[in-house]
Amino acid sequence: MQSLLYYFCKARIAYRGDLLKTKIKELRKERRMSQADLAFEVGTTRQTITSIETEKYTASLVLAYKIAKYFGKQIEEVFDFSAVEDL
């Protein structure tokens, strides 16, 4: 029973690990941009930017690339992959 609980918790942690932490909010604040402005520039909606910032949704590779490119940074500088690397 204990091992079942262990695997369940591990699976949940792994699932949460898919939701990446980002520095979008900080980068946006530096440039005094609103979420709507960033969304317009990278071709998405304000709600999606909100979800990515609050770690409810993980951006696809294409969107992550667009966001990183817009800020003039590498993807790993904008998105924190440490949770994925630990798996």
Partner 1 sequence: MENYKKTLIKRIFMMTMAIIAAVIILVFSSVILTNEGEGETFSEGMMAGFRNGLLVAMIFGFTVYIIKYRKVMNDDKQLRLAYNRENDERRQQIKLKAGGNLVIINAVILLFAGIVGGYFNVVIFYSVIGCVVFQLLVSAVIKLYLLKKY
Residues that bind partner 1 (CB under 8 A): 39-40, 43-45, 47-48, 51, 56-57, 59-60, 62-63
Minimum CB distance to partner 1 smaller for 40 or for 70? 40
Minimum separation from the CB atom of position 64 to partner 1 (A): 11
In sequence order, what E strands does 1-87 have? 21-22, 79-80
Minimum CB distance to partner 1 smaller for 7 or for 56? 56
- Separation between Cα atoms, residue 38 and residue 71, nearest integer Å: 10
Minimum CB distance to partner 1 smaller for 7 or for 69? 69
The residue among 22, 18, 23 whose CA lies nearest residue 85 is 18
Minimum separation from the CB atom of position 51 to partner 1 (A): 6
What one-letter code names the amino acid at 54?
Answer: T
What one-letter code names the amino acid at 85?
Answer: E
Minimum separation from the CB atom of position 31 to partner 1 (A): 19
Q: How far is CA 48 from the centre of its chain?
A: 10
